[in-house]
Amino acid sequence: MLEEWLLLAHVIGATVLFGTGAGIAFFMVMAHRTRDPALVAHVAATVVIADTIFTATPPFSNR
């Protein structure tokens, strides 16, 4: 039973991570296609924030 829950959590987590990465890549490509440096810079800053939020894992403490 525990294995099924862990597998489900893994599949959901992998799906969210992949979907977020694909979405972020799409917006970055669309920004680059405009060839507007200000827009590309703004989108890149937002992409960095989104990447940090969705892919950074919190440190675990052994206290």
**What is the mean pLDDT of each successive set of 10 residues along the chain, which is 63 residues long?**
95 90 94 97 94 75 57
Half-sphere exposure of residue 14: CA atoms within 13 angstroms, side-chain side: 6
Residue with tokens 């987590």: 13
Q: Angle 53-55-59 (CA atoms, 0-180°, nearest 5)? A: 85
Global confidence as pTM: 0.71
Give the per-residue pLDDT at 29: 97
Residue 51, C-beta contacts closer than 8 angstroms, at least 6 positions apart: 24
Closest CA to 21 of 58, 51, 56: 51
Residue 31 · residue 40 · CB < 8 Å = yes
